[in-house]
Structure 1
Amino acid sequence: MNASRRTALFSVAASAALALSLTACQGGEGAKAEGAAAAETAASAASAPASGTGGSKGAAVGTAHKSVSTGSGSAAAGGSTGAQGTGDGSAATPVCAAKDVKVSAERQDGPPYTHIILTARNTSGHRCEMAGFPHIQFLESHKQDVPSVAKSKPAAPTVLNPGDPAYAMVKLSDGGVDEDNEVVTAFQLILQGDSTVIAVDSSAGGGLAVDPAKTLTGYWTTELRNGADDF
């Protein structure tokens, strides 16, 4: 084999070896690239569910927080309703009980005394409502309550602060000397919403001349009003 042929074969062999080496390198780099791409795809696939789960969890937390906030808002609205109830004197203001007030009576005008004015003063340390009218019984022989006069009912609840008075006009008779009149030196009444009996002293001036067939009572009011309290 001559030198030129040997050189040619060597060149072919070297070229083939180089080609194989390059092919192997390229194959390795390709595998490495494919491996990196696969790893990146797997990482993306793994991160995608994690992100979705996190998003759902975040949404759930947000929903729960919104629900709590809504509940607080509803409670606040309920508080507003309670406040409105307090304003009208019926929902939050308690009804005055016998222990909350001191009741007294005095004659109105001059003789013949046909009317008295009842005064109920709030002696408690809290607000209360004088509801309705006094349920009065003047005589042991007449157990029925004195009838009330509808026109004397106030438009708004009669709410008393501590120390405030409420008034009720009460008719005793038509006046004059009448055989049906009976002298009353004490009588009793109860307040609406409380069954406790309140005794009222009326002995001053020799007592009250009461005609059971003529008696009437007005509603509790914060002040006596001309017209509504004339009966």
Structure 2
Amino acid sequence: MNTPRHRSALLAVAGTALVLSLTACQSDGDTASPAAPEATVAATAVSAQPAGDKGTGTSGTAGSAGSAHSTGSKDSAGSTGSSGSSGSAGSTGSTGSTGERASASAPLCTAGDVTVSAATQDGPPYTHIVLTAKNTSRHTCRLTGFPHIQFLESHKQDVPAVAKSKPATPVVLTAGAPAYALVKLSDGGMDEDVEPVSAFSVTLENDPTVISVTAPGSEGIAVDPAKALTGYWTPELRNGADDF
């Protein structure tokens, strides 16, 4: 049976134990309190982590911004400057058809625009000569038709022209350019009725002015009026069309 003394002692012991327990808890709380900074550090680290993400994101964005430097490839847009190749549209100015139309509208050549000369073709017997009409003026002109030739005073008729020698396009002579006409004198036979010619007359179409032409060779040429023929004016002599 517990006496009051014993109860006092037990209460004292229990109180001491309670004090010790409370002290231990207090000390435990004190030791736990240092963990708070760790939690704070951890929280700071966690909150700092998004900042780090922002850093990488920024650098990534900066990198993409660097790709914006590829807008420097706008220099390739400078290739639109190659639309200057449209300047090659100036080549449309080279539309020969326009130039040809302009040349075709050039004035007709007159006796004052050209100088006509004669030269033998091939070797003896000299059955053909070549007339050359050179534009000695300072402008472009058109030489149409064929040379109207009279070899002899006794034969006033013009030498007939060979139709197949007519060129397909107008003969346009720029300053200094020549045109040619092949002329047949005879067949070259021994029994032909030929006459010597040292000079003869030529007129151009649409111009009655008489051009005196000196016959080639020291002794002139032998012409059979019945066999003589002339070709049309052409920019160059052509095989076939000018063979007669």
Q: What are the equivalent positions in structure 2 for 1:53-202 lying under 5 Å apart?
A: 87=101, 89-90=103-104, 92-202=105-215
**1:99-137 CA deviation, whole Å, 9 max, x = no partner?**
000000000000000000000000000000110000000
Distance 1:88 1:153 in 2: 21
Distance 2:154 2:221 in 1: 16
Distance 2:215 2:138 in 1: 27
TM-score of the aligned structures, taking structure 2 as reference length: 0.58
Q: Which residue of the partner structure matches residue 7 of structure 1?
A: none
Secondary structure of residue in 2 paired with 1:214: coil
**1:74-121 CA deviation, whole Å, 9 max, x = no partner?**
xxxxxxxxx96961744x211100000000000000000000000000
Distance 1:203 1:226 in 2: 23
CA RMSD of aligned residues (A): 1.7
Distance 1:178 1:130 in 2: 37
Query: Could you tell me how far 1:208 is from its partner in structure 2?
Result: 0.5
Query: Could you tell me how far 1:154 is from its partner in structure 2?
Result: 0.3
Secondary structure of residue in 2 paired with 1:224: coil
**1:148-201 CA deviation, whole Å, 9 max, x = no partner?**
000000000000000000000000000032351000000001001101000000
Query: Could you tell me how far 1:216 is from its partner in structure 2?
Result: 0.4
TM-score of the aligned structures, taking structure 1 as reference length: 0.61
Q: Which residue of the partner structure matches residue 234 of structure 2?
A: 221
Distance 2:152 2:116 in 1: 18
Q: Which residue of the partner structure matches residue 43 of structure 1?
A: none
Q: Which residue of the partner structure matches residue 25 of structure 2?
A: none
Q: Which residue of the partner structure matches residue 85 of structure 2?
A: none
Report the structure number with the largest CA radius of gyration: 2
Q: Per the alignment, do residues 176 and 230 of structure 1 end up closer, same or farther by CA in structure 2, a change over 3 Å counting?
A: same
Distance 1:178 1:89 in 2: 47
Match of 2:119, as an amino acid? E
Secondary structure of residue in 1 paired with 2:112: helix
Q: Is the contact made by 2:119 and 2:216 (CA closer than 8 Å) also made in structure 1?
A: no
The number of aligned residues is 148
Listed as ranges, the gaps of 5+ residues in structure 2 are 1-96
Q: Is the contact made by 2:187 and 2:227 (CA closer than 8 Å) also made in structure 1?
A: yes
Q: Per the alignment, do residues 109 and 194 of structure 1 end up closer, same or farther by CA in structure 2, a change over 3 Å counting?
A: same
Q: Is the contact made by 2:182 and 2:231 (CA closer than 8 Å) also made in structure 1?
A: yes
Q: Per the alignment, do residues 225 and 203 of structure 1 end up closer, same or farther by CA in structure 2, a change over 3 Å counting?
A: closer
**1:48-68 CA deviation, whole Å, 9 max, x = no partner?**
xxxxxxxxxxxxxxxxxxxxx
